[in-house]
Amino acid sequence: MDYLWQGLFQALQFLFSGHPETYSAIWCTVRVSSLSIGASLILGVPLGYFLGHFAFPGKKMIRLLVDTLLSFPTVVIGLLVYSFFSHRGPLGQLDLLFTLPGIAVGQTILGLPIIIALTAAAVESLDTRLRPTLLTLGAKPRDLLLTTVWEARFSLLAAAVTAYGRIVSEVGISMMVGGNIKWYTRTITTAIALETNKGQFSLGIALGIVLLGMAFAVNLSLFFLKSRIEG
């Protein structure tokens, strides 16, 4: 067990001394995960609202597809995004391969089904009298969307936290699309995998502590936000 305590001690030294390689991975992770969750929410909440609020032909099949994509393997997403962004792919001219925006595209694909599915479930669980009441009061489509989202706000916050947890902890997309380039596209998860394989156990522990801290901070923020809204 000595090597665990020694690794933890060195990890804390890395964190408190401002170790540049550690903080480079942290910054890359914060940037790419923020882009990904932002895009997932912007696209996923309206789509989830539409899926849960309206009845249309093929709705059950679309819902089944979205639910199936919840378990989409990250390496498969990485492979698909890589094939599209490579120079031989249809989107190769965008030069997004081995960039943080390229990783964000892949992670958005990962988080989007979570937001859509949980938003649709939240909308479906609302009181069925909400829509007729709003229409009676003269609500427009925009008012219907905003009011429904507000009524389902706690479920949507939980959906955002769930999607962010999946995004920030994935490895396959970041490794394949980003290339794990030091100082440029190396995220916390890819750095942990690399440094542990190299025997740099203490650096892996340092990054693991940060990753756990990020997850705790997101959940703590959700708790205080929910408390303020309820208050």
CB distance 117 to 66 below 8 Å: yes
Q: What is the pLDDT of residues 178-192, one digit of tens each?
A: 998 988 999 989 988
> Average model confidence (pLDDT) for the chain?
87
CATH code at 26-185: 1.10.3720.10
Which is higher by pLDDT, 100 or 136?
100
For residue 143, what pLDDT is reported? Answer: 84
Q: Is 168 exposed, middle or buried (0-12, 13-18, 19+ CB in 10 A)?
A: buried
**CA separation, residue 202 to residues 112, 149, 222 (Å):** 34, 44, 30
Q: How far apart are CA 53 and CA 100, in angstroms?
A: 35
Mention every residue, 6+ apart, whose C-beta is less than 8 A from residue 202: 6, 7, 8, 9, 10, 11, 14
pLDDT at residue 170 in the model: 92
SS3 call for 141:
helix
- The ranges assigned to domains in the chain are 26-185
Q: Which range among 62-71, 120-129, 139-148, 202-211 shows the weakest confidence by mean pLDDT?
A: 202-211
Burial 74-108 (b: 16+ CB within 10 A, else e): beebbbbbbebbeeeeeeeeeebbbbbebbbbbbb
Q: What is the pLDDT of residue 227?
A: 72
Residues 6+ apart with CB under 8 A from 83: 89
At residue 28, does pLDDT exceed 90? Answer: yes
* 3-state class (DSSP) for residue 137: coil
In the DSSP assignment, the letter for residue 140 is: -
Note the pLDDT tens digit of each residue in 193-209. 887 788 777 777 778 88
Q: What is the DSSP letter of 91?
A: T
User: How many CA atoms lie within 13 Å of 76's alpha carbon, on the beta-carbon side?
Assistant: 6
The pLDDT of residue 100: 95
The residue count for the chain = 231
Distance in angstroms (rounded) separating the CA atoms of residues 217 and 231: 21
Residue 25's contacts (CB-CB under 8 Å, 6 or more residues apart) are 186, 187, 188, 190, 191, 207
pLDDT average, residue stretch 20-46: 93
**Three-point CA angle 112, 116, 121, nearest 5°:** 150
Question: Residue 7: which pLDDT band, with cuts at 50, 70 and 90?
Answer: low
Contact 99, 30 (CB under 8 A): no
- Residue 53: the pLDDT is 87
